[in-house]
Structure 1
Amino acid sequence: MTEVQDLARFVGRARIEDLSAEALEQLKIRVLDTLGVAIGALDAEPIAAIRGLLADLDGTPTATLIGGGATSPERAAFFNSALSRYLDFMDSYLAPGETNHPSDNLGAVLAAAESVDATGAEFLTALAVAYQVHTRLSDEAPVRARGFDHTTQGAFAVAAGAAKALRLPEKQIANAVAIAGTANVALRVTRTGNLSHWKGLAYPHVSQTGTFAALLAGRGITGPEAVFEGNKGFKDSVSGPFELDWSQEDLERVRRTIVKKHNAEIHSQSALDAAQDIRAQDGFTSRAIAQIRLTTFDVAHSIIGGGEEGDKRLVRTKEEADHSLPWMLAVVLLDGRLTPEQYAPERIVAADVQGLMTRVVITPSDELSARFPAHMPADLEVELADGTVFRSSQDSYHGFHDDPLDWEAARAKFDALASPFTDAALRDEIAGIVRELDRRSTRELTAALARVPRTRSSAHSAGGAH
């Protein structure tokens, strides 16, 4: 067997019964969280542009778009993945050399599952497969240091999940994974320097092409059978050597994923908790801040702190703001929170936050770096003009491995994000279906998602719900 055939056997044999009770619960929490984040992005400008393009292109309406309408599965995969990715408020997985967002696979798996009228149990199993493939490849075959984006491993994961949801046999699963993995080697420039819309659309693109690869494989199209180990294959050209025995894998890796508390890049979460802690301390006033000093782990410094992936003090757009640790620290110290409301264009460029971010100094620490990714350490000091120094050290946050989100907290986040677009009855319906999804149908869920309005109610038109 080739390595992709070994992976395909793992995918083909996966069953809902393979998930422990805790893993199944956490997977449902990820579904609810991802849907809330997606609904919260329905009126974003890039989303409107994508919906308009899909309307112009048309497409066989076998998969639902969140917010109404239907199109072909691969186009629905792109749109719904774009929704869940736009706010940058989704889940994450931390490996020593890679960070990814396994919930990015939901749009593709949901579209594929709906197109064949899959059960909720089939959908959840396919999503668990995508989580496992995505996270384990990130563990064993990180590519960030080689200049490639984390969507590169995601191509294998999304194709595996979509193929599983489509009920393809093992041979066709292998072909789908081989096609998608060969065709989607992506550059890390997606997330370096001045950021563009592509930061949020790179994975939706992989969702679309991975779903299409599965549809092609279902019609008998073949892919390179030695995609991993072959001459000029993934190991030879992209990742370097690694070993991964898929016969020994389970579906439990979802339990190692983490959910964002703040609407910000994942490596900022503990630092933003520290900022909230300082802001709440007696005597603190943001109007008198002279300097902000953060000591943190090297990955946070490299990606969002002004390290190897570029200076983070030129912030003009949402894409730049949610990947700028100086900006995020400044806005939390000023506003006390970081939600979609802070990403309003006028707030991003406001003089107070733009000025305060220039007083942020971020330093990587070998000691703190050695504790990552098991921990997310951040030591923050804020000095006022009179010399008073406020301090806070945080090692994790609510939603991290050691303090996982429970259903009630997930529901609160879902309600906060979805309430500008939905009434309480529809939120209850969607959450209720997700809670029992292993005993419901995929189409019950997509039918409810189709009824979500695309625009905010007048009571929330100014973003007040956030």
Structure 2
Amino acid sequence: MTEVQELASFVERARLEDLSERALEQLKIRVLDTIGVAIGALNAPPIATIRGLVTELGGRPCSTLIGGGRTAPDRAAFYNGALSRYLDFMDSYVAAGETCHPSDNLGAVLAAAEMREASGADLLTALAVAYQIHTRLSDVAPVRDRGFDHTTQGAYAAAAGAAKALALPPARIAHAMAISGTANNALRVTRTGALSHWKGLAYPNTAMSATHAALLASRGITGPETVFEGTKGFKEVIAGPFEIDWRQEDLEGVRRTIVKRHNAEIHAQSALDAALDIRARLGFEVTAVSAIRLKTFAVAHRIIGGGEEGDKRTVRTKEEADHSLPYMLAVALIDGEVQPEQYAPERIAAADVQMLLRKVTVTPASNLSAQFPHRLPADLEIEQEDGSVFRAQRDDYHGFHTKPFDWTAARRKFDRVTSAFTNASERDALAEVIATLDERPVAALTSLLGDIRVAPIEARINL
């Protein structure tokens, strides 16, 4: 067997019963979290543009769009994936050489599962498979330092999830992953320098292509079966050598993923907790701050602190703001939170936050870097004009795998981020279906998602 065929055997034999009780609970929390942040992005300008294009192009109505309407499954995977990714508030997986967002796979899995009229148990199993593949490839085959984006490993995960949701046999699962993995090797420039809309759309594009690959494979289209180990394959050209024995893998990877407490890039979470700690202390005055000094681990400095992936003090857009430690620290100190509201164009452009972010200095520290990825350490020091200094240290946060969200915490975040687009009864219905999804058909979830309206509640009332 080739390596992709061995992986396909793992995908095919996976069953929901293979998940531990804790893994299943966390998987449902990820579904709630992902759908919540997707709903919260319904009126984002790029999303409106994409929705207009999907509507104009049409497509066989096999799969539901969150916010109403139906289209072809590959287009639904793109649109729903764009929704869940736009706020940059989704879950993450942090490996030594790669950071990814396994919830990005839900768009593909949901679209394929609905097309097949699958059960909720089928959807959850397919999603667990995608999580396992995505996290394990991130562990052993990181590509960031080679100039490729983390969506590259996701090409295999999303295709596997979609193929599993479609209940394809092993040979066709292998071809789906081979097609998708060969075709979707994205450049890291996606997340360096001045960030564009593509930062949030790169994985939805991968999910769309992976879903299409699974549909092609379902009709008998074949892909390179030595995609991993073959001449000019993934190992030789992109990742370098690695080994995974898929016969020994389980479905517990979801438990190693983490949920965001703050609407901010994942490596900023502990630092923002430290900032809010200082903000709450007696005698601290944000208007009197003269310098903000953050020591953090090298990966955080590189990606969001002004290291090799670009200047982080020029902040003009939402995409730049949620990947700028200077901006996120400044707005947290001023506003007392980092939520979707902190990325409104007028908030980003405001003089107070623009002035304060220029007082932020971020430096990597070897002792903190040594703790990564098992911890996300931050050592924050803020000096005021009178010379007084406030300091706070953190190495994890609520949502990290050391302090995972339970259902109550996940529901609290879900309610907050969806409140503009849903009423209490709609939120209760969605949460109840997701909590019992293994006992329901996928249609029970997609029917509720299709009933949500794109216009915020306030706008609907005014109409």
Deviating runs (4+, > 6 A) in structure 1? 459-462
Secondary structure in 2 matching 1:91: coil
**Secondary structure class of the residue paired with 1:259:** coil
Secondary structure in 1 matching 2:404: coil
Contact 1:119/1:441 (<8 A) preserved: yes
Cα distance change on mapping 1:191 and 1:460 into 2, 3 Å: farther
Q: In 1, distance between residues paired with 2:378 and 2:423?
A: 38
| Cα distance in 2 between the residues matched to 1:210 and 1:117 | 19
After TM superposition, give the deviation of residue 452 of structure 1 in Å.
0.8
Deviation at 1:455, TM superposition (A): 1.2
1:209-220 matches, cutoff 5 A? 209-220=209-220
Q: Which residue number corresponds to residue 333 of structure 2?
A: 333
Indicate yes or no: 2:195 matched with 1:195: yes
The corresponding residue for 2:242 is 242
CA drift at 1:459: 7.7
Deviations 1:126-171 (A, max 9, x none): 0000000000000000000000000000000000000000000000
Structure 2 match to 1:233: 233
**Residue 70 (structure 2) aligns with:** 70
| Aligned-pair identity (%) | 69
Counterpart of 1:171 in structure 2 is 171
SS at match of 2:383: strand
Secondary structure (helix, strand or coil) at the match of 2:92 reads strand
Distance in 1 of aligned mates of 2:369 and 2:307: 14
CA RMSD across the alignment: 1.0
Q: Which TM-score applies when normalising by structure 1?
A: 0.98
In the alignment, structure 1 segments of 5+ residues that lack a partner are: none
Specify the alignment match of 2:32 in structure 1: 32
How far is 1:460 from its partner? 10
Q: Is contact 1:420–1:461 with CA below 8 Å preserved after alignment?
A: no
In 2, Cα distance between the equivalents of 1:129 and 1:435?
A: 19
Aligned equivalent of 1:84: 84
Find the counterpart in structure 1 of residue 371 from structure 2: 371
SS in 2 for 1:290: strand
3-state DSSP class of the match of 1:195? coil
**Whole-angstrom CA distance in 1 between matches of 2:153 and 2:92:** 14
Instruction: Give the conservation status (yes or no) of the 8 Å contact 1:158–1:211.
Output: yes
The within-5 A match list for 1:4-403 is 4-403=4-403
CA drift of 1:453 comes to 1.1
Maintained 8 Å contact 1:120/1:442: yes
Q: Distance in 2 between matches of 1:148 and 1:388?
A: 44
Counterpart of 1:212, as a letter, is H
Q: Distance in 2 between matches of 1:461 and 1:352?
A: 34
C-alpha displacement of 1:301: 0.2
CA distance, structure 2, for counterparts of residue 181 and residue 461 of structure 1: 46
For 1:274 and 1:451, locate their aligned partners in 2 and report how far apart those are by CA, in whole Å.
40
Opposite residue 59 of structure 1, the aligned amino acid is G
Q: Distance in 1 between matches of 2:441 and 2:415?
A: 23
Displacement of 1:457 in angstroms is: 1.5
Please tell me whether the aligned partners of residues 162 and 210 of structure 1 are also in contact (alpha carbons under 8 angstroms): yes
2:418 and 2:335 map into 1 onto residues whose CA distance is 22
Distance 2:363 2:419 in 1: 39
Distance 1:56 1:460 in 2: 24
